[in-house]
Structure 1
C-alpha cells in the first residue's frame, strides 16, 4: 500500500484525528472558440476552467497536472498560457498538445484533462462540455448562461 508514517499511508492525511484518503482523479472538459484569436481562446479557456473549478470544488493546490489539446485550427495562443495566469495556477504542471486530426471532427475545439487529488469517488467528478463541444458528450451537456450555470440530473456524472 505504499510507505507509512505512524501507521498512516502516504496517500492519507491526518487532520485532528480524522483520516482522509485522497485519490488521484481525472476531470475532462471541452469547449469551442468562435475564432482563432488570443481573446477568443482566453475567454473560452477561462470559462471552461471556471466551471470545472466550481462544479468540482477544485483547489489549484490539489491539481497534479493539466493537459490541454487544441485542434489544428487553433494556434493564436497556448491554452496553458491562459491557465497559467489564473490565481494559484503558476506552479501547476501544464501541457499543450495538438489534437489528432480526424475527418469531420469538431473544429476550433479545446479539450482539457485535469488530474487532481480528492477524497471524492470518480463517479462524483463533474465533467464539463461547453459551447459547441457539448455535442461531444450530450450526456454531460451543461446549460450555461451569463447569469447562471445549471445542470440536469444526469449531467456531469460518470
Structure 2
C-alpha cells in the first residue's frame, strides 16, 4: 500500500542555506521515524509558502544516500493570508505495510501548530 507521510518545518528567514538545511532536517526526521527506504518511495512533493524563493528545498533530498533516483517536485503553496509564514512542507509517498494511524508525521519549529493533534508526547 502507498502511504503519504507528511512533514513541515519553518525557517527564520528566506536564505538558501536555511531553507535547504531545514528541508534536510525535516526529511531526516521523517525517514528515521518511519523507517523509509528510498527504494520504496514513489515520489516526494515539497512545497514552500510564497515568502520562500531563495532555493529549491528539493536539493536536500539529494544529500541522502540512495535517494538519487527518487522523483522530487517543488511547488509553491497557495497564498492564504492566514498561512504560517516561511514554511516548508514535505509529502513523501512510500510503500508501507503500516496502518494509516501508525504513520508518524513530523512537524518541527513553528510548524508544530499546524497539527498539534499529531504531536508525539515523548
The answer to whether the superposition gives a TM-score over 0.5 is yes
Please list every run of 5 or more consecutive structure 1 residues that lacks an aligned counterpart in the other structure. Answer: 1-22, 142-150, 154-158
Residue 52 of structure 2 corresponds to 74
Residue 94 of structure 2 corresponds to 116
More helix per residue: 2
Distance of 2:91 and 2:24 partners within structure 1: 15
Matches within 5 A, 1:8-27: 23-27=1-5
Q: How many residues align?
A: 122
Deviation at residue 85 of structure 1 after TM alignment: 2.6
Instruction: Tell me: higher relative CO, structure 1 or 2? Use CA pairs within 8 A at least 6 residues apart.
Output: 2
- Contact persistence 2:14–2:53 (CA under 8 A): yes
Larger Rg: 1
For the pair 1:139 / 2:108, whether they are aligned, the reply is: no
Q: 2:15 aligns with which of 30, 37, 56?
A: 37
Deviation at residue 84 of structure 1 after TM alignment: 2.1
Residue 63 of structure 2 corresponds to 85
Distance of 1:96 and 1:42 partners within structure 2: 12
Q: Normalization by structure 2: what TM-score?
A: 0.94
Please list every run of 5 or more consecutive structure 2 residues that lacks an aligned counterpart in the other structure. Answer: none
Distance of 1:117 and 1:138 partners within structure 2: 26
Q: 1:57 aligns with which of 35, 49, 53?
A: 35
Residue 121 of structure 2 corresponds to 152
Superposition CA RMSD, Å: 1.2
